[in-house]
């Protein structure tokens, strides 16, 4: 039987004291740490607010709730989700250790920080590992200023601002857990990488980290307000609400909101409808314009993709498995024709199935990663590119691990 963790040390944070657990190997963990006030009630769709201080000692022994999301026909998680987790080899190390902050993926509509193997990072690499939860889908990325006024001018970036708040917590408190706040790497995969890339163009995040690792994602997820407003209109239609009834979004039960969200995100046309928004405030300029400005504290970046990235989505959606221009239109809108032309050109030198897989992989992920890397290099920021080709022994060809 696995050993039961024993009581761990007590650490002092800016808001109050926390007690974690220590496992049989000596690794210390603190789980379910609130890094901001609960974004419920009047806080729905709004930027995260500071955490109220407390007296006494709070136990940090269990993961917090994941962000509200759908799993099949059920609601999973809840709106009160702004927590993070810390794993550390020691809270009293002679020299503070580097820190990695993990931002989970999940198409901006699913996932959780407790999916991260933080103990492995902390134990094997002797670093302080952190994973975060942030608001997802309509609760984290629904643009509402055009319907509800200036109070909601940053609603399309609530989830992005959650990540900023979590990084501020790390910057302020991680030294108490044995971490070095001057050596923070932010790391994300898929939608997590896209959220981390949005941090690169968010002034509020400046100075909170030194390095980023982007696994399968770039700034292609940042939408303009016109595109974001179309998504809002689709959600309202799924809820049978007129635009002048948008204030009902503030009080609808979470389950009803999530069911409507599930309707509009089904199939390829719903792939990552949600994501950060160029709102002129949180993200003041379009990404490549912003990245072209010189920056003295620009972080180093490691960026890459998987060789056959699109195979993952072909497993989800059978309609993607065969060459189909209509599917490309659903995925890429007006740019679908360009992708179809690229496929037609690729099939001149490759079998049709390989040409289809490589072309969809290029346009879903690889080209965006290359373009971001090039923009960083043009701005004289240090950047490295990788491609992950590993295939598990005995795995079917062109089958990538589930994200």
**pLDDT tens digits for range 169-224:** 999 999 999 999 999 999 999 999 999 999 999 999 999 999 999 999 999 999 99
Region 374-379: what's the mean pLDDT? 94
Confidence of residue 1 (pLDDT cuts 50, 70, 90): very low
Instruction: Kindly provide the b/e burial profile for residues 256-280, where b requires at least 16 CB atoms within 10 angstroms of the residue's own CB.
Output: ebbebbbebbeebebbbbbbbbbbe
- Distance, in Å, from the CA atom of 117 to the CA atom of 177, rounded to the nearest integer, reads 18
- Give the model confidence (pLDDT) of 105-133 as tens digits: 999 999 999 999 999 999 988 899 999 99
Domains of the chain: 6-291 (3.40.50.1820)
Please list, in sequence order, all residues whose beta carbon lies within 8 angstroms of the beta carbon of residue 40, skipping any fewer than 6 positions away.
Answer: 79, 80
- Distance, in Å, from the CA atom of 47 to the CA atom of 52, rounded to the nearest integer, reads 15
- Distance, in Å, from the CA atom of 134 to the CA atom of 275, rounded to the nearest integer, reads 12
Confidence of residue 403 (pLDDT cuts 50, 70, 90): very low
- What pLDDT was estimated at residue 298? 85
- What pLDDT was estimated at residue 394? 65
- The residue among 327 and 395 whose pLDDT is bigger is 327
- Give the model confidence (pLDDT) of 334-366 as tens digits: 889 999 999 999 999 999 999 999 999 999 999
For the chain, give the mean pLDDT.
93
Share of the chain above pLDDT 70, in %: 97
Q: Does the pLDDT at position 398 exceed 70?
A: no
pTM over 0.85: yes
């Amino acid at each position: 039987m696995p050993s039961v963790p024993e009581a761990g040390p007590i650490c002092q944070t800016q808001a109050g004291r926390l007690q974690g657990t220590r496992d049989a190997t000596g690794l210390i963990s603190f789980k379910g740490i609130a890094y901001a006030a609960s974004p419920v009630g009047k806080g729905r769709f709004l930027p995260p607010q500071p955490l109220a201080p407390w007296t006494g000692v709070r136990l940090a022994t269990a993961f917090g709730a994941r962000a509200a999301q759908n799993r099949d026909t059920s609601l999973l998680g809840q709106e009160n989700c702004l927590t993070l987790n810390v794993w550390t080899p020691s809270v009293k190390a002679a020299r503070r250790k580097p820190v990695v902050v993990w931002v989970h993926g999940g198409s901006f509509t699913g996932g959780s920080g407790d999916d991260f193997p933080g103990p492995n990072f902390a134990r094997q690499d002797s670093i302080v590992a952190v994973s975060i939860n942030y608001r997802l889908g309509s609760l984290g990325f629904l643009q509402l200023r055009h319907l509800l006024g200036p109070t909601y001018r940053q609603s399309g970036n609530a989830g992005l601002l959650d990540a900023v708040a979590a990084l501020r917590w790390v910057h302020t408190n991680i030294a108490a857990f044995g971490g070095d706040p001057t050596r923070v790497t932010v790391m994300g995969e898929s939608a997590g990488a896209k959220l981390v890339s949005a941090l690169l163009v968010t002034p509020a995040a400046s100075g909170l980290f030194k390095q980023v690792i982007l696994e399968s994602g770039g700034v292609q997820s940042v939408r303009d307000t016109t595109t974001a407003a179309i998504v809002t209109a689709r959600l309202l239609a799924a809820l049978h609400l007129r635009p002048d009834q948008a204030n009902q979004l503030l009080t609808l039960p979470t389950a009803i909101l999530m069911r409507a969200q599930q309707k509009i995100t089904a199939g390829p046309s719903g792939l990552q409808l949600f994501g950060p928004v160029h709102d002129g405030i949180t993200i003041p300029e379009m990404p490549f314009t912003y990245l072209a400005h010189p920056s003295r504290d620009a972080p180093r970046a490691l960026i890459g993709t998987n060789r056959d990235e699109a195979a993952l989505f072909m497993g989800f959606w059978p309609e993607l498995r065969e060459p189909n221009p209509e599917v490309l239109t659903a995925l890429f809108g007006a740019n679908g024709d360009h992708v179809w032309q690229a496929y037609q050109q690729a099939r001149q030198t490759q079998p049709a199935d390989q040409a289809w897989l490589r072309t969809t992989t290029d346009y879903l992920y690889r080209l965006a990663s290359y373009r971001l890397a090039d923009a960083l290099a043009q701005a004289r920021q240090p950047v490295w590119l990788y491609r992950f080709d590993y295939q598990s022994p005995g795995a079917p060809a062109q089958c990538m691990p589930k994200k």
